[in-house]
Structure 1
Amino acid sequence: MQGQQQQAYDRGITIFSPDGRLYQVEYAREAVKRGTASIGVRTAEGVVLAVDKRIRSPLMERTSVEKIHKADDHIGIASAGHVADARKLIDFARRDAQVNQLRYGEPIGVETLTKDVTDHIQQYTQVGGARPFGVALIVGGIEDGEPRLFETDPSGTPYEWKALAVGADRGEIQEYLETNYDETADLEGGIELALSALATANEDGLRPEGVGMATVDAESEQFVQLTDDEVGEYLESFDLLAADEDDTADEDDAADEDSEE
């Protein structure tokens, strides 16, 4: 009998368990943990977003793996969890940003956008016949000249952070961020922290094609997505390149020297 009651709480999104839990929301959080890591860092000069873009097959087009999105000129979003769920929320966020621009003639605030998205997420925790979104988002941007960084939870709760990680290996990466975060760091310092934190979950080092990165600078208030070459330069300068990448770079340098001779 007790097992049947447990199944009822387990299957019904609108039913609280006796200890006040919504099991489907907790399962949605587990889906987030199965996604590859995403990191957000807020600095004095802007916001940095970095994601782990692991490719399942060499035949897959790398550009089709989307984990960082532009929501508006001044806002970027990184995701962890179900990609399809993330795309639906990104589309909602983009529409919300455009409606705000048309209605009020000004860019939407980062906090306002995050709370609109989490209000939308929350509806799916109390409607029968639907399931929660199995994704967490990191929303970063500039509001009134100040960098802001938020997380959305499958329960529909927004949290503001100085630096955070979502997805796989969150505990390990978050511990690194808490130990090494510096509020006075510039944008490049934020990039170094994000990449170094991501490297803690990748013992063999990082490859440019396996990392996605974007920044929103406080001065320009513009979302900029870094290319593989730019990411590679940062990885090399911070000594985070995978070993085979270093070997390839050395071979390329040798080839360049031979051609010059």
Structure 2
Amino acid sequence: MQGQTQQQAYDRGITIFSPDGRLYQVEYAREAVKRGTPSIGVRTDDGVVLLVDKRISSPLMEEASVEKIHKADDHIGIASAGHVADARQLIDFARRDAQINRVRYDEPIGVETLTKDITDHIQQYTQVGGARPFGVALLIGGVTGGEPRLFETDPSGTPYEWKAIAIGENRSTVQEYLEENYDETLPLDEGVELALRALGEIRDELSPEGVGVGTIDAETGAFLELSNDEIQEYLSDLALLEDETADEEATPDSDGDEETEE
């Protein structure tokens, strides 16, 4: 009971360390990320893939209103997991930072530079009173000098670089699949397939409307968001479409145990 009282005393202020060196509000922000729908990033020799699970909660919801993947600059895309409103604030910061760099230096901002600018901004909200930490993690993918880069941001303000990474709900399951199946030599389209298969590990049904995919090609250095038709083609090739899953379950086996009606 005394331990709970002590924790409550320290988790009310983000600027106060607990006696064991913890910032409880930052840890709570990480929990918010874990409750968010997953996002996946895959870096290949040919570019970077960003995939998000939109999870449309109602057929009456407009698909375009679910924003989890964003264009930060011509050569950089960002995916999020956690509080979408917090993500939008960081996306706006990233876009302003990228444009300022173009105006000031007449060149596109580096992916690592942008990531560290964002994480510096996030870190300020872990040591300044009167505001809470951002309850969101970002995947920042892009191309710098023809080299694909992929970074993750943490609510503490720490950047990490990855070859393949999952954030959000069921992260450990998706990450385990990526670790077992990732290959640096994958072409970009197979990177998309890997990300979709990884999401399929935790989703029984996938639809083009419920998935967002963005790619940054190393050769062109351009961010491109795939259309629903293109996503549907990938899902169909991988047998991950929700209607195809239902059809396979309804198909009689080779022994003819099920009767069909004409």
> Is structure 2 residue 140 aligned with structure 1 residue 139?
yes
Deviation at 1:218, TM superposition (A): 0.4
TM-score, normalising length: structure 1: 0.92
CA distance in 1, matches of 2:221, 2:241: 30
CA distance in 1, matches of 2:142, 2:43: 9
- The one-letter code sitting in structure 2 at the alignment partner of 1:54 is R
Partner deviation per Cα, 1:204-228 (whole Å, 9 max, x = no partner):
2311111000100001100000011
- The one-letter code sitting in structure 2 at the alignment partner of 1:98 is Q
> Is structure 2 residue 38 aligned with structure 1 residue 37?
yes
Deviation at 1:246, TM superposition (A): 6.9
1:123 aligns with 124
2:256 aligns with none
1:18 aligns with 19
- The one-letter code sitting in structure 1 at the alignment partner of 2:127 is Q
1:221 aligns with 221
Deviation at 1:238, TM superposition (A): 1.5
Deviation at 1:5, TM superposition (A): 2.8
2:237 aligns with 237
2:187 aligns with 186
2:211 aligns with 211
1:257 aligns with none
Deviation at 1:189, TM superposition (A): 1.2
- The one-letter code sitting in structure 2 at the alignment partner of 1:152 is T
Deviation at 1:81, TM superposition (A): 0.2
3-state SS of the aligned residue for 1:215? strand
Structure 1 stretches lacking a partner, 5+ long: 248-261
Deviation at 1:3, TM superposition (A): 4.2
Deviation at 1:57, TM superposition (A): 1.2
The 8 Å contact of residues 207 and 245 in structure 1, kept in 2 or not, is answered as no
CA distance in 2, matches of 1:52, 1:141: 20
3-state SS of the aligned residue for 1:168? coil
> Is structure 2 residue 56 aligned with structure 1 residue 55?
yes
Partner deviation per Cα, 1:174-194 (whole Å, 9 max, x = no partner):
000000000110001101100
3-state SS of the aligned residue for 2:27? helix
- Aligned identity (percent) is 74
- The one-letter code sitting in structure 2 at the alignment partner of 1:129 is G
- The one-letter code sitting in structure 1 at the alignment partner of 2:172 is G
Structure 2 stretches lacking a partner, 5+ long: 248-262
